[in-house]
Chains A and B, each alone.
Chain A
Amino acid sequence: MSNHLASAVLRRYVDEPEILLSYEKEHLLQCGACRAAFETIREQARDAERILARDCSSPNLKQARAEIARRAASLREPLETAPRSARFVDVRRLIGAAAAVAVVLLFSYAPFRAYAENFLTIFEPHTLAPISLTAADVRSLQDIPQLREIGRVSTSKRVHSHRFASLAAAERFARVPIAHPGYLPASLPRVEAYLVTPPSTVRFTFDARKARASAARKHLVIPPAPAGVDGATLSATTGPLVVEFYGALPSKGHEHPDRDGFPQNQVIVAQAPVPAVHATSGDMHAVESYLLSLPNVPADVKEQIRAIEDPQGTLPVPVSVDKNTARRITVNGSPGLLIGDDTGIGAVVVWLSHGIFYSVAGGFTADDVSKIAASMGT
């Protein structure tokens, strides 16, 4: 009988009987030479199996587990300390060119307004409101007096960002669970990095004399601080801030995306608790009026801020309307905003869930970025 079965096929037939086609099985039944070869091959396979079966040992699993944990920890030691300049810039720039005003809105104005409404209320946002900013608004806001120019700013300690290569290491350092996407676009390179900035407290105290001196140097007219504002103190505690990078990783010291665009070939996820705010003194209505009367605060921005109905429960999010549109969405039932680039080449989703502020930004379609946000299971 011609066309005997190859020994490699016969060997596979020992382990995977379904491999033979029906005519090959028929041949095996009929062909004595192939049957004999098959028996030899099977016996040899069984011998090898028997030899290998004698090689059994019981490893000390507990000891092994401990050693693996030790190695895993050493693999995920902090890679480096990011330069000081990266401390806050990355968060601010996540939302784009309107970042400067975000700092003012999120960390000073909104809490004051909230406090003004109710003396004992802590700022507890549970929803978001877009604040539309034109390019002219953004330019104007960049020129408003900085907090350091109208008062004294101090931080509880010097905080540094730390970069990690794994989620587990970042979580250990941050000491909070870090939400991470269950979905990422298939085209994204499978690399990731984490930047964690520990919690910190910023304390700000109005200083009318310093504000006057600063204004004089800049030839600006700052309205006199009303009674109750001078000496008013506000402290805001926030963090840990966690920024996750997926895809093209930032080079060391440049952990922020292009400030005028969406991160390309990259997804950036950020999370931070909403700031816990405490005011120690002062007439908050007066403070609010004073802040809005500062030079270069655009009239339309003032109107939008005043129009927020629930200031103590609303986190204002600046949106650059020249490039983007914003619409209200929900992310797994939590209130959020989808901010899209008109060109369709990028989007940001921001949302609040259980006191944590989340954002996902990427150079992908709004649908993709929304899908990433939803996959985080917050």
Chain B
Amino acid sequence: MHIRIEHRLFDTLFEDEYRGVLALAQRIVGPAAAEDVVQDAFARLLGARIEDAVHARHWLYRTVLHRALDTIRRAKSRREREVLIPDPAQPPEPSELVEQRETRDRVRRALARLRPLYGAALSLRHSGFSYKEIALMLDVPTERVGVLLMRAEAALKKEFRHVESSR
């Protein structure tokens, strides 16, 4: 049995998941491209026929993940990927906000230096998905998720240090 994603359920998914999937996409393609990826996925979700609300959440994350990975694959080099990272033009901000944004940008820059699969694994885990769910979305064996996460975490730490030291 399938349900159709009508406005009520769509609104709930939007409220609950928009930030999460946006974060996922940002960690793979950066903020500017992420909005495009996520908004496109939500637009396709409306009216789609999906088994239930849980599957709808999975569908959303999977769709965003695949579209983000496609985007990053098209940006062939690491340099090109880093170009995707900066936020769009921002209005002037107070100094603490500037500091916050700079930190955020460093994290994103570090994430952009990771293999896309590592970024995706980290983001999915950070979004609360189980190992089985992550395995399904990344199309890898469940047993491999732990290794993937460990390597991704080690790589993130290393890249973050690198970005920090090059300020």
Instruction: Show the binding face of A for B, using Cβ within 8 Å.
Output: 6-12, 15-16, 19, 41, 44-45, 47-49, 51-52, 54-57, 59, 61, 64-65, 67-68, 71-72, 75-76, 166-169, 180, 182-184, 190, 192
Contact B157 A192 (CB under 8 A): no
Contact B18 A61 (CB under 8 A): yes
B26, B27, B43, B130: the one contacting A75 at CB < 8 Å is B43
Chain B, residues 138-155, CB within 8 Å of chain A (1/0): the string is 000001111101101110
Inside 8 A of B46's CB, which chain A residues have their CB? 68, 72, 166, 168
**Known interface pairs A65-B14, A167-B4, A182-B1. Does A45 touch B149 (Cβ–Cβ under 8 Å)?**
yes
**Which residue on chain A has the smallest CB distance to residue B42?**
A68
Contact B3 A192 (CB under 8 A): no
**Which residue on chain A has the smallest CB distance to residue B157?**
A47
**Known interface pairs A7-B147, A8-B143. Does A72 touch B19 (Cβ–Cβ under 8 Å)?**
no
Those 9 A-B pairs whose CB atoms lie nearest each other, nearest first = A8-B146, A71-B43, A11-B146, A48-B153, A166-B47, A55-B107, A72-B43, A12-B146, A168-B47
Inside 8 A of A72's CB, which chain B residues have their CB? 42-44, 46-47
Inside 8 A of B122's CB, which chain A residues have their CB? 48, 52
B103 at the interface (CB under 8 A from A): yes
**Which residue on chain B has the smallest CB distance to residue A44?**
B153
Inside 8 A of B26's CB, which chain A residues have their CB? 55, 57
**Shortest Cβ distance from residue A37 to the other chain B in the assembled complex, whole angstroms:** 10
- Give the docked Cα–Cα distance between A13 and B40 (Å): 36
Contact B49 A190 (CB under 8 A): yes
**Shortest Cβ distance from residue B104 to the other chain A in the assembled complex, whole angstroms:** 5
**Which residue on chain A has the smallest CB distance to residue B101?**
A57
Contact B104 A55 (CB under 8 A): yes
Inside 8 A of A12's CB, which chain B residues have their CB? 131, 145-146
**Shortest Cβ distance from residue A48 to the other chain B in the assembled complex, whole angstroms:** 4
For chain B residues 116-167, which have a beta carbon within 8 Å of chain A?
Answer: 122-123, 125-126, 130-131, 143-147, 149-150, 152-154, 156-157, 160
B79 at the interface (CB under 8 A from A): no
Given contacts A7-B147, A64-B35, list 14 more A-B pairs with CB under 8 A.
Answer: A8-B150, A11-B147, A12-B145, A15-B131, A16-B131, A44-B150, A44-B153, A52-B122, A52-B123, A52-B156, A55-B26, A72-B42, A168-B47, A184-B2
A11, A65, A169, A180: the one contacting B149 at CB < 8 Å is A11
**Which residue on chain B has the smallest CB distance to residue A13?**
B146
Chain B, residues 24-48, CB within 8 Å of chain A (1/0): the string is 0011000100010011101110110
Contact A68 B131 (CB under 8 A): no
**Shortest Cβ distance from residue A298 to the other chain B in the assembled complex, whole angstroms:** 44
- Give the docked Cα–Cα distance between A340 and B152 (Å): 60
Contact A55 B108 (CB under 8 A): yes
B3, B27, B39, B147: the one contacting A71 at CB < 8 Å is B39
- Give the docked Cα–Cα distance between A8 and B144 (Å): 7
Inside 8 A of B147's CB, which chain A residues have their CB? 7-8, 11
- Give the docked Cα–Cα distance between A351 and B154 (Å): 64
For chain B residues 47-90, which have a beta carbon within 8 Å of chain A?
Answer: 47, 49
**Shortest Cβ distance from residue A215 to the other chain B in the assembled complex, whole angstroms:** 52
Scoring B40, B47, B111, B143 by chain A CB atoms within 10 A of each residue's CB, the highest score goes to B47
Inside 8 A of A61's CB, which chain B residues have their CB? 14, 18
Scoring B35, B46, B108 by chain A CB atoms within 10 A of each residue's CB, the highest score goes to B46
Inside 8 A of B146's CB, which chain A residues have their CB? 6-12
**Which residue on chain A has the smallest CB distance to residue B130?**
A16
**Which residue on chain B has the smallest CB distance to residue A16?**
B131
- Give the docked Cα–Cα distance between A166 and B49 (Å): 10
Contact A182 B3 (CB under 8 A): yes
A8, A11, A64, A180: the one contacting B39 at CB < 8 Å is A64
- Give the docked Cα–Cα distance between A9 and B156 (Å): 20
**Shortest Cβ distance from residue A160 to the other chain B in the assembled complex, whole angstroms:** 23
A-B contact pairs, 22 of them (CB 8 A): A8-B144, A8-B146, A8-B150, A9-B146, A12-B131, A44-B150, A44-B154, A47-B153, A48-B152, A48-B153, A48-B157, A51-B160, A52-B27, A57-B26, A59-B35, A65-B14, A67-B35, A71-B43, A72-B43, A72-B47, A75-B44, A184-B1
- Give the docked Cα–Cα distance between A9 and B147 (Å): 8
Inside 8 A of A19's CB, which chain B residues have their CB? 131
**Which residue on chain B has the smallest CB distance to residue A171?**
B47
Contact B42 A54 (CB under 8 A): no
Contact A55 B27 (CB under 8 A): yes
- Give the docked Cα–Cα distance between A10 and B1 (Å): 38
Contact A71 B40 (CB under 8 A): yes
**Shortest Cβ distance from residue A110 to the other chain B in the assembled complex, whole angstroms:** 35
Inside 8 A of B106's CB, which chain A residues have their CB? 54
**Shortest Cβ distance from residue B7 to the other chain A in the assembled complex, whole angstroms:** 8
